[in-house]
Amino acid sequence: MKIEILGTGCPKCKKLSELTAEAIKELGVSAEITKVTDLNKFIDYGVILTPALVINGEVKVAGKVPSKKEITKWIEEKKNK
């Protein structure tokens, strides 16, 4: 599974990264987490507001920090496909 955190390193971006790492650990999922700071990548994904969470190429959320429960649900959905 490929997970990307799109952001500039702001506190919300860091929080999203922490919650995502916790969710992956709790689920025992093998995933590659990449922090993306390239504005051109944001545009490629259609993301205007950060932070954003991308799982296997699909933007799951942008402009806010979701709950760990939401992140866990999205990871489980992708894991089962």
Of the residues 3, 5, 13, 52, which is catalytic? 13
For residue 81, pLDDT over 70 is answered with no
The alpha carbon dihedral of 42, 18, 67, 22 has a sign of positive
pLDDT digits (tens, 9 = 90+) for 9-57: 899 999 999 999 999 999 999 999 999 999 999 999 999 999 999 999 9
**pLDDT at residue number 59:** 97
- For this structure, is 13 an active site residue? yes
d(CA 69, CA 53): 14
Does the predicted model carry a pTM greater than 0.85?
yes
**pLDDT at residue number 79:** 80
Considering its fold, how many domains does the chain have in total?
Answer: 1
Provide the residue range defining the domain that includes 74: 2-79
Residues 17, 33 contacting (CB under 8 angstroms): yes
Check which CATH number belongs to the domain holding 24 and give it. 3.40.30.10
- For this structure, is 49 an active site residue? no
Of the residues 2, 8, 9, 10, which is catalytic? 10
